[in-house]
Every structure is written in structure tokens, then in C-alpha cells.
């Protein structure tokens, strides 16, 4: 690992923030926090924290000694000064004299000590930062350090790597107790450059922002070099079938079986979104003969459990041509996973004086031997986070097994973090938008109606794939809504199938398909040439049929129903003069919508059409959105 500090960037950061009234200490704290946060081998998705002890002026014009520490809800990669709220040091240090302090009292006290009461909650590790004497303190969940500490016997390894440069702190849940323990360990070893928190992460510190940051880099590099010198980990692989099913076929099956239903029917399933990964390291991991052992021991750091659960779901190997057997195998594994999770909850919640409410028992990571892994979430963003953490887990466990025997914190400690109110507070409590968890595909998505439709669905929380013959414009629309843009010629069957496969690989499946692509050929029906009429039918009828066939293929694989919406236009029911070449295929498309409703309604697949005419694209689809809002 290399230091990415540059004097030029540091000076520019200081100049920019001091111009805004931020002092140099805090400006440099922001700078190095971002350097740490942008390295995924150190920090992922809101993990880690940093602090600086400095002096600020309060509303009375008095100088106050404060700890500026990372606040809840901020990510180190793009933190700004408000993400490091100032807490009065004098008050924090008084807590050092206490023997006990509940989590609730700690949070209330820290909020009461804020200089600005509108600031976010200070980190749960604020007291640890304050009890250490150094001006700058950094904390990360370095993958390499975790590989050293997640061991059955970590102390000899740490001694070999670090000598007396660090001190080891036994695992304690973050909060007051950990702060006291870490401070005591440091005071017994005041010459160290950092603290290694067993099964948790690493702290470094220094008199300057650069010193604390580069100590972190140097200490992590020592761990990385040791692991490299020991040789990379390679797991012996199971024997795979000659041919595997592609991700595009596997994902809808997995996604459908992870949807939560209120009963055995398909009424209002609570869907998920998937994010697929298949690096060489991931494939080695998921295809290992002992994946059922090393992947099921526990999380590499307890902080991850709120986003990944304690264990991943491991499904059967998807052999090509054996879709039915794979589906039944996944169904059985999901049922077993849910039962195991409920037993885990009962085991640990049953010993508590104040019982907790069980979280949903579904997995957040799925391992598919021979293929890769899926992150699972309520949105593409949440699924991506789970997948990122899963890849981090792959790295840590692979390295840990290469240098010893992987052993994280025990199950009880993991449960304490998963059901700890202070960790749960990190997850968004905002109500989901009406179309959250839905994956929507829109053909002709770069045009006026298509673009407006894409924006409307994205605004209501859906994950949106924009398809258009003009791939560049499709990508432009998609960028504006944080969706997926793809070129697709709906008159080319191979092109359409590839587009659906691409969306399945990106999100796991499809729930709503807006078949919108079309163009208006004109001519008097008694005079128009066959070529014009046939071209119109290719796009305005057969294009819809090809799209709908692929939609049904995916929706049936998911088993959670779905919705088809055809843009038949007003020509289907109210033809205009010289628009026969356009109206005839549109009328057939209107019938097509009815036929799909008739033949696939039993599978929970709805089929409707809209007869658009001079549409105000800013208002399009409101009624349909309201209808779909109940089917999550």
C-alpha cells in the first residue's frame, strides 16, 4: 500500500476550507480522512472513523477544546467538515472516571456535549478517540490486518509482523467499555504507533494528520507484505459440470426465491435486487471444496453483519439444462437458511432480559459454486454494498486461511452487533418509495415518452433499464436517473434477448416492462406498398411480441409475477386518415396485450396497454405507478 498524500493537495484543501472559516486542523483531518476512505482495502461503505483534537470558538466568542470526530451517516470517502462534528473534550474526558456507562447514556451524553446540537451523532467510538492523547487518530477495518487478527492464534503472527510497534486490544464491543480497555492498553505501551483491535480493525495516531495517516499506511503495508511472502491462498476446487447455466438464467431463479411472500400465493411479494461478482478470487472462493466450512464461520469484522448477515447462502452448482433441479435445490437451501437464522435468533435472544424483534431472516449474500456471488439488497445501491463487503470477506478469509486458520468473533458477539441499536441506526430508516425493489425495462426509452417514463419510475424508487436503438441517448437518459442504458433493436430477436440477459445480470431480473418503441409509417392503405406495411409490422407489432416473450421468460423464472405495458397508441382504436400502416400493427398490439393477460394472468403477470395521443410526457404513467405501488 502506498501513501497518496501530496503536499500540493493538502495545501489546496487547507486553502479552500480556511476560506470557508474552517481551521487548518479540521481541513487536514478532512483531507486524510478522504485518503483513507477512498481505499477499499481500508474502508468500505461508512466503516471506520477519524478524529482531531483542536480548538474552536463558540457562540460566546470563547475558545473551546473539542474533538472533531466522524459523525453517523457520513462516508469517509467524501466527507466534508460538517461530517466531523465538534464535541467538547472537557466533558468527554470526565467520562473516563466512570466504571460503567450504558450505550443509551453514552449517546445522550455525547449529543449533549456537541458544540452544535444540530450536528449528526458522533461515532460510537468517540470515547476511544477522546481517551487517546494524540491530536489525530485514525481507525480502519484493513483487510490485511483482519486476516492477521481473525485467527485461532493471532498473537504470534502479530508479534512477527509488528514487534513492539503496536499493542493488541482484546475484542470488546465498541462503546464505553472498548474505549476504557483501549486506553488502558495504550497507557501500558505509550511508545506504540497504533493499536490492533482483535477481530475488529486497527487504530493509528500521530501529532499531525500526515503522521497518523502514513502510520496507518505503513502498518497495513507490513501486514500485506507478510501475507504476500507467505504465498497466496488457493482453495482446492470441487469438480464442476461440463457446462454451467449463465448468470442471466441463474439470477432470476435466485431473485425469485429470495422474494418474501405473505403466504404461498404471489400476492405482493417483497422483492430484492441483486449485484453479481465473479472475479478470479471470488470464483476460487465459492468453488472451493470446503466453502461450507470457511464461508460459514462468521463475519470478518462485526461491523459488516448489519449488511451481510452472519453467513451467506450457499446454493447448488447450476448445471446447464438442469434449471428445474437447480430451482428446487435453491428453494431447499433458502428454507434451511431461514430456519437456521431463526434458530440463531432464538439461541441468543432467549437469554436477554429485554427481547429483541427479529430482523428478516433472508440472506444478503449468495454464493454460487462455479459462477460467483450475489449481493442482495432492497435496491441496487444496497445490493452493491453487500457485494462489496462480500468481496472484502473473500479477500480476508482467503488470506487468513493461507497464513493460518480463519477464526472471527464468536456467534454471540456477532448477534450483539447485529441487534445493537447503535449499529441498526446506521441503516436508513426512511420509508421506501412506492416502486422500490422493482426492476423496470423501457424500450424506446430515449424518446419523449420513453424518457419521461424512465424518469417517473426512477423518481418513485424503481431500478430502471433504458433501451433504445440509439444506445448513446439511452445511456444519457440512464445517467440522469442512475439507471442502466443499453442499445437494443427490438426487431432483432437476438438483440432483445441479449438486452434482457444484460438486465438480469445487472439487477437479477425484471418486474415491469414498458414496451414503448415504435414509429409512425404513413400512406393510404389502398395504395401503400407491402414493404412499408411489413416494416411497420416488424417494429409496431413483432417488436412488442419479441419484447413480451422475453419478459415472460424472465418473469416465469422468477415466479413473482410482473407487469407488461404496451404503448398501443390511439391509432389502435381511433385511426386517422393515411395512418393505416401505423394503426394496423398497433391494433394487433392491443389484441396482443389482451392475449398475454389471458394466458399469463394465472402466473401473476398483468398485461395492459396505453393508447397515447399527444402525450404530456411530464405526466405520463401516473395512474400505472399508483396501481403498481402495492406490488412490492
Cell representation of residue 609: 396497454
Q: Reading across the β-sheet that carries 605-610, which strands appear in turn?
A: 484-487, 463-468, 439-443, 512-515, 562-567, 605-610
Secondary structure element (H or E) that encloses residue 219, with its range:
helix 209-229
Catalytic site positions: 582
Residue 464's beta-bridge partner residues?
A: 440
3 state SS of 107: helix
> How far, in Å, are 137, 299, 378, 419 from residue 422 at the CA level?
21, 18, 21, 9
Q: Please, are residues 460 and 438 in contact by the beta-carbon 8 Å criterion? A: no
What is the DSSP code string of 33-95? HHHHHT-TTT--TT--EEEEEEEEE-TTS-EEEEEEEPBTT--GGG--GGGS-EEEHHHHHHG
Question: Which residue from 271, 267, 245 is spatially nearest to 258, judged by alpha carbons?
Answer: 271
Q: Please, are residues 201 and 120 in contact by the beta-carbon 8 Å criterion? A: no
Residue 426: half-sphere exposure toward Cβ, Cα within 13 Å: 23
Cα distance between residue 111 and residue 103, in whole Å: 12
Q: Please, are residues 509 and 492 in contact by the beta-carbon 8 Å criterion? A: no
The owner of cell 433441479 is 325
DSSP state of 367: E
Cα distance between residue 325 and residue 315, in whole Å: 12
Q: Please, are residues 366 and 376 in contact by the beta-carbon 8 Å criterion? A: yes
Alpha helices (H) along 309-428 = 323-349, 380-403, 411-418, 421-424
Secondary structure element (H or E) that encloses residue 206, with its range:
strand 201-206
Helix axes 7-19, 24-37, angle to 10 degrees: 130
C-alpha of 445 from chain center: 26
DSSP state of 490: T
Residue 230: half-sphere exposure toward Cβ, Cα within 13 Å: 21
In degrees and rounded to multiples of 5, residue 483 shows phi and psi of -115, -160
Q: Going by C-beta distance under 8 Å and a sequence separation of 6 or more, which residues neighbour residue 43?
A: 36, 37, 76, 77, 140, 141
Question: Which residue from 220, 223, 213 is spatially nearest to 37, judged by alpha carbons?
Answer: 213
Helix axes 411-418, 323-349, angle to 10 degrees: 90
3 state SS of 439: strand
Q: Please, are residues 457 and 440 in contact by the beta-carbon 8 Å criterion? A: yes
Cα distance between residue 108 and residue 102, in whole Å: 10
Amino acid at each position: 500500500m502506498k501513501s497518496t498524500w501530496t503536499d500540493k493537495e493538502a495545501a489546496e484543501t487547507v486553502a479552500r476550507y480556511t476560506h470557508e472559516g474552517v481551521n487548518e486542523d479540521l481541513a487536514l483531518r478532512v483531507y486524510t480522512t478522504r485518503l483513507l476512505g477512498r481505499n477499499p482495502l481500508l474502508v468500505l461503505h461508512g466503516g471506520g472513523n477519524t478524529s482531531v483534537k483542536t480548538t474552536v470558538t463558540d457562540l460566546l466568542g470563547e475558545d473551546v477544546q473539542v474533538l472533531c470526530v466522524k459523525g453517523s451517516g457520513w462516508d469517509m470517502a467524501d466527507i466534508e467538515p460538517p461530517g466531523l462534528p465538534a464535541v467538547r473534550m472537557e466533558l468527554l474526558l470526565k467520562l473516563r472516571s466512570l466504571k460503567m456507562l450504558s450505550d443509551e447514556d453514552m449517546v445522550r451524553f455525547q449529543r449533549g456535549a456537541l458544540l452544535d446540537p444540530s450536528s449528526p451523532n458522533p461515532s460510537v467510538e468517540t470515547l476511544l478517540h477522546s481517551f487517546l492523547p494524540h491530536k489525530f487518530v485514525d481507525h480502519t477495518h484493513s483487510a490485511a490486518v483482519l486476516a492477521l487478527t481473525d485467527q485461532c492464534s493471532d498473537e504470534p503472527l502479530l508479534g512477527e509482523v509488528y514487534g513492539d510497534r503496536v499493542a493488541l486490544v482484546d475484542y470488546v464491543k465498541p462503546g464505553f467499555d472498548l474505549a476504557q480497555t483501549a486506553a488502558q492498553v495504550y497507557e501500558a505501551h505509550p511508545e506504540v504507533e497504533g493499536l490492533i483491535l482483535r477481530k475488529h480493525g486497527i487504530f493509528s495516531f500521530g501529532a499531525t494528520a500526515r503522521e497518523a495517516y502514513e502510520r496507518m499506511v505503513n502498518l497495513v503495508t507490513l501486514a500485506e507484505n507478510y501475507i504476500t511472502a507467505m504465498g497466496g491462498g488457493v482453495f482446492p476446487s470441487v469438480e464442476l459440470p461440463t457446462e454451467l447455466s449463465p448468470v442471466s438464467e441463474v439470477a432470476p431463479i435466485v431473485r425469485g426465491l429470495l422474494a418474501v411472500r405473505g403466504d404461498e400465493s404471489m400476492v405482493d411479494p417483497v422483492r430484492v435486487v441483486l449485484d453479481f461478482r465473479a472475479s478470479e478470487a471470488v470464483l476460487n472462493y465459492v468453488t472451493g471444496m470446503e466453502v461450507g466450512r470457511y464461508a460459514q464461520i462468521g463475519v470478518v469484522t462485526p461491523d459488516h453483519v448489519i449488511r451481510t448477515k452472519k453467513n451467506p447462502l450457499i446454493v447448488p452448482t447450476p448445471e446447464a439444462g438442469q434449471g428445474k433441479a437447480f430451482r428446487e435445490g435453491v428453494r431447499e437451501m433458502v428454507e434451511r437458511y431461514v430456519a437456521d437464522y431463526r434458530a440463531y435468533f432464538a439461541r441468543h435472544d432467549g437469554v436477554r432480559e429485554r427481547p429483541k424483534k427479529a430482523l428478516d431472516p433472508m440472506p444478503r449474500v449468495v454464493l454460487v459454486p462455479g459462477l460467483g456471488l450475489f449481493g442482495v439488497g432492497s435496491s441496487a445501491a444496497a445490493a452493491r454494498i453487500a457485494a462489496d463487503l462480500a468481496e472484502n470477506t473473500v479477500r480476508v478469509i482467503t488470506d487468513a486461511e493461507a497464513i493460518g486458520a480463519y477464526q472471527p468473533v464468536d456467534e454471540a458477539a456477532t448477534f450483539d452487533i447485529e441487534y445493537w441499536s447503535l449499529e441498526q441506526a446506521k441503516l436508513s430508516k426512511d420509508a421506501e418509495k412506492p416502486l422500490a425493489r422493482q426492476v423496470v425495462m423501457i424500450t424506446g426509452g430515449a424518446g419523449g415518452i420513453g424518457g419521461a417514463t424512465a424518469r417517473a419510475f426512477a423518481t418513485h424508487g424503481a431500478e430502471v433499464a433504458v433501451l433504445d436503438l440509439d444506445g448513446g441517448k439511452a445511456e444519457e437518459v440512464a445517467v440522469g436517473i442512475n439507471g442502466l442504458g443499453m442499445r437494443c433493436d427490438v426487431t432483432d430477436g437476438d438483440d432483445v434477448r441479449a438486452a434482457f440477459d444484460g438486465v438480469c445480470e445487472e439487477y437479477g431480473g425484471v418486474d415491469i416492462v414498458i414496451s414503448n418503441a415504435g414509429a409512425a409509417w404513413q400512406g393510404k392503405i389502398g395504395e401503400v406498398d407491402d414493404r412499408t406495411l411489413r416494416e411497420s409490422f416488424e417494429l409496431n407489432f413483432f417488436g412488442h411480441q419479441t419484447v413480451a416473450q422475453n419478459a415472460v421468460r424472465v418473469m416465469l423464472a422468477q415466479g413473482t409475477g410482473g407487469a407488461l405495458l404496451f404503448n398501443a397508441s390511439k391509432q389502435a382504436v381511433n385511426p386517422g386518415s393515411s395512418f393505416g400502416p401505423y394503426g394496423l400493427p398497433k391494433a394487433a398490439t392491443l389484441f396482443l396485450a389482451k392475449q398475454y393477460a389471458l394466458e399469463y394472468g394465472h402466473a401473476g403477470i398483468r398485461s395492459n396497454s396505453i393508447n397515447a395521443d399527444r402525450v404530456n410526457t411530464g405526466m405520463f404513467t401516473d395512474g400505472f405507478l399508483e396501481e403498481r405501488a402495492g406490488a412490492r
